[in-house]
Amino acid sequence: MLYAIISDVHSNLEALNAVLNDIKKFGIKEIFFLGDSVGYGPDPDECTSILNSLCSVLIAGNHDMAIIGLTDISQFNSFARIAIEWTSKQMKAENISLLKRYKMLQEILEKNIFLVHATPKKPEEWSYIDIMWDVDKQFHYFDDKICFVGHSHKPFIIEKKSSGELLLHKEEVRLSEKSRYLINVGSVGQPRDRDPRASYCIFDNGLIYFRRIEYNIKKTQKKMMGYGLPVYLIERLSYGV
């Protein structure tokens, strides 16, 4: 089994292309996308169309759902809201209709994995998983060996042993027969763990690990400036916050 799991592209075409080039180097044919193709960045049409053509699973993120009117954006902070309003005006109808096909969650039985954007528990609430406090209960809301999530833009691997003990892995994990896993793959287009490089995950025969990929941040920022997107959203890409 060899596949890549990517999430939270957020209209960042430079980051997406850098990640896709990296995926190609490994000869990976199957890519699962965990949601938020749009919001924040300058290239919503291109990113949505590329993801649609290359990913075998497309999961809905809160920003995708906001574009098609299925999530209330009054919950969004002001920067996210400005970006969503800009994105809605910018996007072609044909690409907006692609977002309508995204699924809230998907279980792939033969791979023993569960895919969702925010949380296995009530995914439509778009909650954030706190790795100190509410990881354990999330394991009750999927039956598979591994659940992959995105949403917080901060990568982590939590292993739950058969004894109930929880372990945090930072960079990689070799799957053990009796453990189950909850894995946040990080964000391609707007990392927030103080590492500005794009983040994604590779599953390679029982080994799961993160890849961090440099991309042309300045090019993305220049486009965002040209479109008058909020300075805070432009600046944060330099720092990965």
Closest to 199 measured CA to CA, from 212, 215, 217, 183: 212
| Interior angle at CA 51, CA 149 and CA 79, nearest 5 | 65
The 181-220 contact track toward Zn ion, x by CB under 5 A, reads ----------------------------------------
Q: How far apart are CA 217 and CA 165, in angstroms?
A: 40
Distance (Å) of CA 144 to CA 68, 155, 177: 30, 20, 13
Stretch that binds Zn ion, among 30-38, 49-57, 66-74, 98-106 (CB under 5 A): 30-38
Q: Shortest distance, CB of residue 19 to Zn ion, whole angstroms?
A: 15
Question: For residues 91 and 173, which CB has a smaller minimum distance to Zn ion in the complex?
Answer: 91
Q: Shortest distance, CB of residue 61 to Zn ion, whole angstroms?
A: 6
Stretch that binds Zn ion, among 16-24, 28-36, 48-56, 66-74 (CB under 5 A): 28-36
Question: For residues 8 and 193, which CB has a smaller minimum distance to Zn ion in the complex?
Answer: 8
Q: Shortest distance, CB of residue 36 to Zn ion, whole angstroms?
A: 4
Within residues 5-24, the interface with Zn ion by CB under 5 A covers 8
Within residues 35-74, the interface with Zn ion by CB under 5 A covers 36
Question: For residues 150 and 158, which CB has a smaller minimum distance to Zn ion in the complex?
Answer: 150
Question: For residues 8 and 45, which CB has a smaller minimum distance to Zn ion in the complex?
Answer: 8
Non-local (6+) Cβ contacts of 186 within 8 A are: 7, 8, 150, 153, 154, 155, 193, 199, 200, 201, 210
20 SS3 class: helix
Q: Shortest distance, CB of residue 160 to Zn ion, whole angstroms?
A: 25
Question: For residues 36 and 193, which CB has a smaller minimum distance to Zn ion in the complex?
Answer: 36
Closest to 54 measured CA to CA, from 26, 36, 31, 34: 31
5 SS3 class: strand
Question: For residues 36 and 43, which CB has a smaller minimum distance to Zn ion in the complex?
Answer: 36
**Token couple for 209:** 């690990």
Q: How far apart are CA 102 and CA 185, in angstroms?
A: 18
Task: Specify which residues 25 forms β-bridges with.
Answer: none
Within residues 137-156, the interface with Zn ion by CB under 5 A covers none
Helix intervals (H) in the chain: 13-25, 44-54, 62-67, 78-90, 93-99, 135-138, 217-226, 231-239
107 SS3 class: strand
Q: Shortest distance, CB of residue 65 to Zn ion, whole angstroms?
A: 11
Stretch that binds Zn ion, among 32-40, 41-49, 105-113, 170-178 (CB under 5 A): 32-40
Q: Shortest distance, CB of residue 42 to Zn ion, whole angstroms?
A: 16
Question: For residues 14 and 36, which CB has a smaller minimum distance to Zn ion in the complex?
Answer: 36
Q: Which residues bind Zn ion (CB under 5 A)?
A: 8, 36
